[in-house]
């Protein structure tokens, strides 16, 4: 068990297996949910911004990050609606809610 996993904030195995492929810098976490992947990324030195359509999920992610000693930014956003992410705003794009792949931005 890694230090990242010890505190009950287990990230997706796919993320753990691919952390080294991410470029340093800002990384978004789409559909952040409870924040488990965002916490992992933040604890690994990334500047993480989580997005979720649910205000409850955003609150949970921020609370979980605080309990884990991680700093993340998070906002309510409908990514399938009219929310727009500026091109080039992030060093890497992690897309896990529609397919397991990492996409550069």
Tens digit of pLDDT for each residue in 42-97? 999 999 999 999 999 999 999 999 999 999 999 999 877 776 667 766 765 544 44
Q: Which domains does the chain have, with CATH numbers?
A: 30-99 (3.40.50.150)
Q: Which of 72, 26, 25 is nearest to 50 (CA)?
A: 72
Rounded Cα–Cα distance for residues 21 and 51 (Å) = 21
Is 100's pLDDT higher than 50? no
- The reply to whether the predicted model has a pTM over 0.85 is no
**Terminal-residue alpha carbon distance, the chain:** 31
Q: Which of 67, 6, 28, 53 is nearest to 15 (CA)?
A: 28
């Amino acid at each position: 068990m890694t230090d990242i996993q010890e505190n009950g904030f287990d990230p997706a195995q796919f993320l753990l297996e691919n952390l080294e492929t991410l470029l340093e810098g800002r990384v978004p976490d789409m559909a952040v949910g409870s924040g488990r992947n965002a916490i992992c990324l933040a604890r690994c030195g990334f500047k993480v911004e989580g997005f979720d359509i649910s205000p409850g999920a955003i609150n949970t992610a921020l609370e979980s990050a605080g309990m884990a000693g991680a700093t993340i930014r998070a906002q309510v956003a409908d990514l399938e609606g009219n929310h727009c992410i500026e091109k080039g705003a992030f060093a890497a794009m992690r897309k896990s809610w529609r397919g397991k792949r990492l996409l550069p931005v």
